Each structure stands twice: as structure tokens, then as C-alpha cells.
Chains A and B, each alone.
Chain A
Amino acid sequence: MSHADTMGSHSAGAMERPAFSVPAKKMAMWLFIIADTATFAACLVAYGFIRNATPNWPRPFHSITNVALMTFILITSSLTMLFGIEAAQSGDKAKAFRWTMITAAGGALFALLHVREWLALIDEGMTLFKNPWGTGLFGSMFFSITGLHLLHVTGGVIALVAVGIRYQGGRYGADDLEITGLYWHFVDLVWMFVVPLVYLMNLGH
């Protein structure tokens, strides 16, 4: 094989089509999402097994108003994110920025409601290791799972604001907004599993 042939095959290797025809940045986000799915799945499966194996598991939730409101806000913020991406893809920068900031505001409101709920539970005597209703494991599982999710929401809000501002300033494009949107939808998707497993299964009747 000549030198030119070798060079040719090397260049072809460097220019080969990306995996699943997805651009590298977007693929990186998908790989992160897949890895994070494993993290949340591990937490939720562990929670399921521990809950099943513990006899005096508490069921402290008596009202679903707060968690229903939080769910509504998070799902709605996924829709506003899609509006922002649509606007960015059609070149309407101002509209895309506005929808992205509305999404971030939704995320911030969700985080505030979550913190308020935590404070109410702490007020009732619940900590990481004990609570007045039953096994102390409940607090550990509840704060770990919802805390991990809250951390993702907070990170998402910061990312949305940062990417939104840079998009507005012309440093980022519509694809960057779309990739941040993927993360935001993932945060929403995780919540869809946290609600039934952590809240609704522990609803006191």
C-alpha cells in the first residue's frame, strides 16, 4: 500500500459518520443521560428493595397538592423548553431566549417548592437517620433520592441560564440550546418515576 493510500484511509477514518448520525456534542449528552439513568435506576431499585424488606416503613404523606403542583410545573417547563428550541431553530433569538428563561424560572420554582417541602418534613422531626413515624431508613432514602434529583434540577437551571445568555450573545447556537433541552427533559423524565415510587407509594390514607 502506498503512502498516499494510507493517508487516504486515515482521512476517511477521521471523517467517518458519527455514531447513530448524531453530532458529537449531542452524543456526549446522550451518553451522560444514559449514565445518569443508571445512577437513578440504582437509587430507585435500592429504595424498592429496602422498602420491601423493612416492616415498619412510614407513609407520612397526607396531601398530594405540593407534589402535584411540582409535577405540573416540571412537565410544563419541558414544554416551554421545546418552544424555546423551536424558536431557536427558526432563528427567532429573542423568543428562544424568552422561552429558555421561562423554563429556568419553572425549574427554580420547582426547586423552591421542593425545599419548602423538605423544611416542612424536617419541622415534623424527619432527619437523615430518624423520623417520628417508623424506620429511620425512610429519611435516608427520601433525602438521597429527592436530593439527587433536586441537585440535577439546580444544575439544569444554572445550565439553562448560562446557555440562554450565551445563545442570546451569539456565542452558542440553536444546537447548544437543544442539547441543554435534552438534559432538562431527562430531569423531567426522572421525576416521572420519583413521584409514584417515593411519594404516591408512601401516601398515608
Chain B
Amino acid sequence: MTTAAGKQNGIGKYVVIYICILAIAALQFVVAYSNITPSQMFARTLFLAIIEAALALLFFMHLSHNRGLLGFVVIFTVFVLLTLQYGWTDSFRLSGGIPWAR
């Protein structure tokens, strides 16, 4: 494959990913207008946002070419989210969930 053809391929791939991200973003807006409960809406729109973000990370930010860095980023992000989840739920438990806090 020539360099020019390879470059064209790269740009073509970016356009396809761009269209996919736009389509998923549009789907989020459709979900927001559908007749579902807030928790269902939260789960569905967040799921779509995670897919969008994964596409951007893997292809726009080229993490698909570097598995080591991808693992580092994913492990760190999951660790931060779990820590936040633990910290916040524990704060709520402390402020309202146990008898001597009242």
C-alpha cells in the first residue's frame, strides 16, 4: 500500500468513526425523549456515552495502537470511579444512614 493510499485509509477510518459517534450522540437525544423512568434513562444514556468515549479513545486518541497505555488508562479510570463511588456512598451513610449521626 502506498503512503498516499494509507493516509486516505486513515482519514476514511476517522470519518467512519466520526459518523458512528454522531449517530450514538443522536441516539442519546432519542433516548432522552422516550417515555422511560429516570433511572432507565440514566443507564441507557450513560451506556451510550461510554461507547462514544471508547470509540474516541481507541481511534481518535489512538489508544488502540498502544495496549499498554490503554490498560493503564482503563485501570486508573476504573480505580478512580470505584473510589469515588465508595467515598460518596460512605459519606451518605455517615450523614444519614446510621443512628448516631442524627
Q: Report which A residues bind B (CB closer than 8 A).
A: 20-22, 30, 34, 37-38, 41-42, 45-46, 49, 53, 64, 68, 71-72, 75-76, 78-79, 82-83, 86, 90, 182, 185-186, 188-189, 192-193, 195-197, 200-201, 203, 205
Contact = CB atoms under 8 A, between A and B. Distances in A.
B9 to A, nearest CB: 11
Nearest to B26: A68
A195 B56 contact: no
User: From DSSP, what is the main secondary structure of chain B's interface residues?
Assistant: helix
Contacts, number: 106
Question: What 6 A-B pairs have minimum CB-CB distances, sorted nearest first?
Answer: A196-B45, A200-B32, A20-B69, A20-B68, A45-B84, A79-B18
A13 to B, nearest CB: 20
B66 A21 contact: yes
B10 A86 contact: yes
A75 B45 contact: no
Nearest to A22: B69
Among A22, A46, A83, A192, the most chain B Cβ lie within 10 Å of the Cβ of A192
B15 to A, nearest CB: 7
Contacts of B81: 41, 45
Contacts of A20: 66, 68-69, 72
A189 B57 contact: yes
B7 A196 contact: no
Contacts of B42: 196-197, 201
